[in-house]
Amino acid sequence: MFSKPIKELNIKDIEDLVTQRKEDENNYLEYKQNIEINDRFKGKILRVISGFANAKGGYLIFGIKESRENESAEIVGIDRYINGQKVEEWLNNILIANLDERVNYSFKIVTINVGNTSNERIILVLYVPESPKKPHMITFKGKNEYYLRHNKSVNIATHSEVREMFEYSKNQKDDFNKFLSKRNLIDSEDIEFGNNRYSRQLFTNPDMNSYDQIARILYSFIPIYLDGNRVKTVSEDYLEWLQNNNRGYNPFTRYELYDIYKKEISLEGICFHFDYEPNKIMRYFELLDNGFIEFGNSDDIAIRYNKDGRILKAIKLTTMINFLVILLQFAEKYYKKINYFDELFFQLSLINTKDCALGCFSREGKYNPVLEMEEPFEIMNRKPPLCQIDNFKINSRFYINELDKNKISKIAYCFAEKVSNAFGLLRVNYHLKDFN
């Protein structure tokens, strides 16, 4: 419908759709001229949005007068506020209260007339993707009904259509679990947990013979709705975007997540990795055509050195969580780039952690390379607690549109807390430095 992410839409895009291309309502598009506050209108909106989610997705645009016989659609706009409440907030409250379960959507406010704020005219564009959790039931006014989009209309779903939607959701869940299993990301007690083509090659010190025992950390982003044709990872446009977005994320703004020129192409996607030598890599950044992203690292995060005949192993907490913050910022931009706005599953996997200590604690967000090497064995002036398990994982689910600064900070602290607990620490020695 549009050639860009919904968040980037402007009035010219709306004009092109309505007045230049003269796009009529169809299976993926519906216009509404006004917003009304009566129950009849609320019921219509709930049917349209659930119908899109239960079918193939679509756009609902408020402020467009629908086309009539011998007349084209027209941009008219709607009021910015409804009874003193922003229109998007009013709409969100209706959807939360009357749909089971929650329908994911993204929206864009396009201003068409800037004047007195209370009389400001806007276009409200809603994009509702096909849901991997369908069917979504309308519970408005005590009714429990399923709807499905059919061309320009929305109809009550038949028994067989409801059954097909439930089967679809089950298949999506099965496909998701199969993918996790293929990547060895499900069972942290499995000897193969976290092992894949690239993670097996991670190590820290090229001079150590037992590099395979170094702790490895994987950051994995998996769309709940997997689609092998979501993105073409070897296209020129895609690679150009990656080249322009491989750095600039706080708190390590100069850090390159990947080197665009050191890539390996496969049937399923592309991987960038930094090599010490063949079959020994420092870190990798893998992106697949189905939207999966994985960043694997040991070199920047794990410490393993010989001191007085003792082999000391530690993981840098601050560095590890700061990478998490960087990757969440990247993910927010990336998934909007490829037009994925649905739920995302994120997992942090820690491998070979047994007998490792936790170190490199931040001092109010300040980074000190000297402390990095001394902690936790010298600064603490005592034997630190060691992790008692070989592998473990921490995961979270969220929607891409939720990834603002506040959400990223909450996820970072939550993961820092859980990692600290896994290493036998009650106090969370991590403070996220403010980022722009």
Mean pLDDT confidence for 333-349: 89
State the DSSP code for 25: P
pLDDT for 366: 47
In the numeric block, the tokens 């028994």 are attached to: 159
DSSP bridge partners of 217: 297, 350
pLDDT for 6: 82
Rounded Cα distance, 228 and 292, in Å: 10
> Residue 202: pLDDT above 90?
no
Query: For 86-93, which contacts have Cβ atoms below 8 Å and span 24 or more sequence positions?
Result: 87/35, 87/62, 87/122, 87/124, 88/124, 90/35, 91/35, 91/45, 91/124, 91/126
- At residue 40 the predicted structure's pLDDT band, cuts being 50, 70 and 90, is very high
Rounded Cα distance, 276 and 165, in Å: 49
- pTM across the whole model: 0.79
What is the set of domains in the chain, with CATH numbers?
Answer: 6-171 (3.30.950), 193-422 (no CATH)
- At residue 372 the predicted structure's pLDDT band, cuts being 50, 70 and 90, is very low
Computed over every residue of the chain, the mean pLDDT equals 86
- At residue 201 the predicted structure's pLDDT band, cuts being 50, 70 and 90, is confident
Class of residue 42 by CB neighbours under 10 A (exposed 0-12, middle 13-18, buried 19+): buried
Mean pLDDT confidence for 297-321: 80
Rounded Cα distance, 183 and 193, in Å: 8
Question: What is the percent of the chain with per-residue pLDDT over 70, rounded to a whole number?
Answer: 87
> Residue 119: pLDDT above 90?
no
Q: Which position has the higher pLDDT, 78 or 426?
A: 78
Q: Which position has the higher pLDDT, 368 or 79?
A: 79
Condensed to tens digits (0 to 9), the pLDDT of residues 208-240 reads: 554 446 789 999 999 988 888 889 998 999 999
Condensed to tens digits (0 to 9), the pLDDT of residues 283-308 reads: 999 999 999 999 999 888 887 766 66
> Residue 393: pLDDT above 80?
yes
Query: Which residue in 383, 364, 361, 215 sits closest to 301, CA to CA?
Result: 215
Rounded Cα distance, 222 and 265, in Å: 20
DSSP strand E in 173-268: where? Answer: 216-223, 263-265
The set of residues, in sequence order, having a beta carbon less than 8 Å from that of 286 and lying 6+ positions away, is 198, 269, 270, 271, 272, 292, 293, 294, 295, 296
Mean pLDDT confidence for 393-406: 89
> Residue 364: pLDDT above 60?
no
Query: Which residue in 68, 85, 69 sits closest to 33, CA to CA?
Result: 68
> Residue 408: pLDDT above 50?
yes
> Residue 365: pLDDT above 80?
no
Q: Strand 29-32 and strand 57-62: pairing?
A: parallel
Contact 190, 180 (CB under 8 A): no
Question: What is the percent of the chain with per-residue pLDDT over 90, rounded to a whole number?
Answer: 54
